[in-house]
Structure 1
Amino acid sequence: MSISGMGHPAPGAPDFRFEVHESVGSTNSLCFERARDGNPGNLWIRSDIQTEGRGRRGRDWASPVGNLFASLLLVNPEPAARIGELPLAAAVALAEAVDKAAGTLQLVKLKWPNDLLVEGAKLSGILLEVETLNDGRQAVVLGFGVNCVSHPPLSLYQATDLRSLGFQVSAERLFEALTSTMADQLVQWQQPGGFETIRRAWLKRAAHLGNRITVKLGQEEITGIFADLDARGHLVLRQDDGRQRTIFAGDVFLPG
């Protein structure tokens, strides 16, 4: 394993530091290690390969060379009561970064809460993890995985990658765009009422808004119309009986 850029300003975001590795188990896990060792946060870690990448709900995340694997460590981010909004801010930032790096406009749609889709196929995933450290600090890590040059075979979701879509975007180029757009979204998120701007930006890219969807909540499945996001970014589902139900966490599928 080699490290470059350690302790240097992140490309596109000089107020953040960064590390680049040839191979790690998980960039999220390494961020938590840095936090436990006293790192003050605002740290990006990127790796060419992950050997133990993971997605939401403990799913494995394939991590071949050429795709983007990066995580951002934040320590005691404020406002702490609104950390649950960060995945949506991260999704908006990543969507903007893809457009910036690929030279496109609104290429991707967003599937609640934070997957990027192109023509219905999954391009990326974002994983938020939180740990309270022994010294009482709160470490928040946002992990990003983007299919730049390859994608896994059909499994739970149909997937795609930027090269298959005709865009030659390297992981390095996309990372530089992401550090910039994520810094901008964090500034927005920290403003009083700032999440409302992020919420509106998310809704402009929303996949399935106004359409019938199924949300899987563990063993339970609920079907209805994706009506809106509430003020905290939770999914508002209009059920067949006309009642609205707020979904705090779950997996979204199209019926059938």
Structure 2
Amino acid sequence: MHPIPAVPPYRVVGLETVGSTNAVALDHAYKGDAGQLWVVAGRQTGGRGRRGRPWASEPGNLYASLLLIDPADPARLGQLPLVCALALADAVDRMCGTHRLVRLKWPNDLLVDGAKISGILLEAAVVGEGRRAVACGFGLNISHHPELADYAAADLAGLGYRVTPEIGFGALAESVSRQLDRWRHEEFSGILTDWLSRAQGIGMPIRVRLSQDELHGTFVGLDEEGRLLLRGADGSMTTISAGDVFF
């Protein structure tokens, strides 16, 4: 694994192989780490997606998690997946030299021509003295991509962009730092507007898979907290906080 660039004021731990960068980050939190810590790995043996689905994590892609401790009032943490998705979308443009290459699928998937190029997983835990630790995990398909059962997938190399994981991490770390500063010090409405400007599928029929159900309707947009608004065939509006969207 090549040296990982420093990203002050954040600290960086670079590892060759881990089970999961999120798990390593949360382990640091349980041991009293103050946060502001990036964990970057060349390979994951136990990478996970949403709902515990396995995520292929072989060398050549970017695998990184940022540990935050008490990043915001708990009521605002539902906004964080959108902040992370917007940061990664901006980072992809920076590392590829493109303008608005990716579209965003709620809440935090990045798409290019309808194919998924990333995975973002946020995991939270309460650690010593009631501190809330959040691991923001990013996986970006740089050199290769997994074959997914429910989605088309792609990678930057296959799309014609020559990027290394080290360049990718530098762009990601800078973008995440900038978007987190916005989130902490400005109204969320600005981030929400930027997210919506990249949104895929507004006005389209979608289905949303929940933990115990599946809903069908029209993707109207997001509410002021970033929750999905789904209009049913009877005109009723449903607000959804978490789910998998399919077009």
Q: TM-score range by the shorter chain?
A: over 0.9
Whole-Å separation in 1 of the counterparts to 2:74 and 2:234: 36
* 2:102 is the alignment partner of 1:108: yes
* 1:175 aligned partner: 169
2:234 pairs, out of 220, 241, 253, with 241
| 1:1-256 pair list within 5 angstroms | 11=6, 13-193=7-187, 195-254=188-247
Describe the superposition over 1:79-100 as per-residue Cα deviations: whole angstroms up to 9, x where unpaired.
3320111110000000000000
Whole-Å separation in 1 of the counterparts to 2:225 and 2:77: 10
Determine if contact 1:94/1:182 at 8 Å carries over to the other structure: yes
Of 183-192 and 44-53, deviating more is: 183-192
Identity %: 50
Describe the superposition over 1:76-122 as per-residue Cα deviations: whole angstroms up to 9, x where unpaired.
11233201111100000000000000000110000000000001110
Q: Displacement, 1:37? A: 1.3
Determine if contact 2:61/2:144 at 8 Å carries over to the other structure: yes
Determine if contact 1:3/1:21 at 8 Å carries over to the other structure: no
In structure 2, relative to structure 1, the CA distance for the partners of 1:104 and 1:250 (3 Å cut) is same
Whole-Å separation in 2 of the counterparts to 1:153 and 1:225: 28
Q: Displacement, 1:192? A: 4.5
Of 154-163 and 229-238, deviating more is: 154-163
Whole-Å separation in 2 of the counterparts to 1:239 and 1:163: 39
Whole-Å separation in 1 of the counterparts to 2:184 and 2:220: 26
Determine if contact 2:2/2:166 at 8 Å carries over to the other structure: no
Aligned residue pair count: 247
Q: AA paired with 1:68? A: L
The alignment's C-alpha RMSD in Å is 1.4
Determine if contact 1:3/1:20 at 8 Å carries over to the other structure: no
Q: Displacement, 1:43? A: 0.4
Moved over 3 A (4+): 2-5
Describe the superposition over 1:200-251 as per-residue Cα deviations: whole angstroms up to 9, x where unpaired.
1110110111111011112321111111110110000111111111011111
Unaligned runs of 5+ in 1: none
Determine if contact 2:32/2:128 at 8 Å carries over to the other structure: no
In structure 2, relative to structure 1, the CA distance for the partners of 1:160 and 1:3 (3 Å cut) is closer
Q: AA paired with 2:75? A: A
Q: Normalised by the size of structure 2, how large is the TM-score?
A: 0.96
Determine if contact 1:89/1:198 at 8 Å carries over to the other structure: yes
